[in-house]
Amino acid sequence: MKSKLLFVALIVLSLLTAPAFALARVAGKPNADAQDPPSPAKSSTSDSSKDSDEELRHAIQSSGGSETQVITNLEGYLKKYPNSGRRGEIEGELYKLSVKLRDRNRAIIYAEKLVIDDEDNIDALTNLVTMLRERKTEADLLKAQAYADQLVKQFENIISKSLKPKRISSAQWQERKEQGIASVYLLRGKVHADLGADDKARADLTKSYKSARLAATALALGELSEKRKHVDEAIDYYLQGFVISLNTDEKIDLKSLRRKFGQLYSAKNGSEAGLGDRMLKAHDAYIKEREERLAKLEPPNINTGIGDPLKFTLTKLDGSPLKLEDHRGRVIVINFWATWCGPCLTEMPLFEKIIAKYKNEKDVVFLAITTDEDRELVAPFLKQYKFNLPVAYAEYLNDHFAISSIPTTIILDRKGEIAFRQAGFNPREDFVGMLSEKIEDAKKR
């Protein structure tokens, strides 16, 4: 089934990434003919009840690598086989190609077909609203409004049911959702503004801006304020948009915006005297707010600037500090793991066996260091699988050791130098025996 669903996409992908001589060979043509203009698929209506894999393949391969011709040929195929079982898949490819080629009118046609088949298609809905706004006719704007309503409804429904990915923290997941909410409300707010529904536009844009600080939203709110003759409010929003763009990857026309709020400020105050101070104030306010938000998303590195691993301070599950310096002169066996790591689940009981084996040796210390971003997952995970391990949060020790694979086991000798390191888990290996041997080696160093 999967091979059928990928049939068209794979043919198109292989064709458009192949060299010209390969395209000619795949299509069964001599290389000399590769420069001839490709012909579209014939639009005969001989048998509309069946698909023809051979004709579909030919329709794509005879394009000669031209994306425009692929569109023409696929449309010809659908004309010949209007009841094709692959119609949805083909229309999906036609939509992608149309967007890529900036064929707005055709992209709108296929985006609407996709949305009929899948009302949760956020990509198609977003592009539909954007492209209909670009056409600017009243009829298109009314359609854009309807699709924008659907976009907001479907997006909110999707995120309300979506589970947080395991590799990110709850705060990071919340930020992603807030960014998404901000984006869809911004788009609908712009449609309302296009239609002159300023109150609805302001409500959506305000919700967008409260959800996440986007420069585009600040600009849109500034335009509404300027329209209402609220000059100071407009200047504030423009300044905020300017500052956000300077400090993020969001690109706007900074030169044009600078000219706009400069002219507004001068018209109201007679000159730009004081504008620089106001801009710095907006910048400082934004930076402070962003730092506070980032502190929630990513706890500060309590080990910043430390180069000696034995100088690191970790955090236990109960929140108390664990200073590696207290174990200097001992052999330290560290196992980096995570709740989302399948192999870790197999390795951790073996790590428990190693710990039990050395329980009476005071000069060997064991640590099971979790690299989970979401710390809320750790305690329930340990309880679920009844692990009894000396667990601590990494506090960037994994970054210090450049851990790129989980699980990873590291043994530090009495001087804090790496005596052994192994990335990954080998199920064919006697983990307990191997690690015991490496610990004994480290004790002798």
Long-range contacts of residues 417-422, Cβ cutoff 8 Å, at least 24 apart: 417/445, 419/331, 419/445
Looking at residue 42, its pLDDT comes to: 44
Maximum separation of any 2 CA atoms in the chain, in Å:
85
Arithmetic mean of pLDDT, 171-195 = 94
Arithmetic mean of pLDDT, 114-136 = 96
Residue 142 and residue 133 in contact, taking contact as beta carbons nearer than 8 Å: no
Arithmetic mean of pLDDT, 171-175 = 83
How buried is residue 205: exposed, middle or buried, by Cβ count under 10 Å (0-12/13-18/19+)? buried
Which pair of tokens denotes residue 122?
A: 């956020």
Q: Which tens digit of pLDDT belongs to each residue from 309-337?
A: 999 999 999 999 999 999 999 999 999 99
Q: Which tens digit of pLDDT belongs to each residue from 337-366?
A: 999 999 999 999 999 999 999 999 999 999
Distance CA 37, CA 28 (A): 15
430 or 19, which is more confident: 430
Compute CA distances 43 → 46, 57, 58, 76, 94, whole Å: 9, 15, 13, 5, 17
Compute CA distances 61 → 23, 68, 351, whole Å: 7, 13, 56
Looking at residue 284, its pLDDT comes to: 96
Which pair of tokens denotes residue 52?
A: 């023809």
Position 9 confidence tier, pLDDT thresholds 50, 70, 90: low
Arithmetic mean of pLDDT, 186-205 = 98
Residue 327 and residue 310 in contact, taking contact as beta carbons nearer than 8 Å: yes
Residues whose CB is less than 8 angstroms from the CB of residue 283 and which lie 6 or more positions away in sequence, other chains included: 243, 246, 247
Q: Which tens digit of pLDDT belongs to each residue from 248-302?
A: 999 999 999 999 999 999 999 999 999 999 999 999 999 999 888 777 667 778 8
22 or 236, which is more confident: 236
Question: What residue ranges define each of the domains in the chain, with the CATH number in brackets?
Answer: 2-212 (1.25.40.10), 213-299 (no CATH), 309-444 (3.40.30.10)
As beta bridge partners, residue 412 has: 332, 418
* Residue 24: pLDDT over 60: no
* Residue 46: pLDDT over 60: no
Angle between helix 215-227 and 254-269 (nearest 10) = 30
Within 10 A of 306 (CB to CB), how many other CB atoms are there? 15
**Whose structure tokens read 């190609």?**
97
* Residue 120: pLDDT over 80: yes
SS3 421: strand
Look up the pTM and report it.
Answer: 0.69
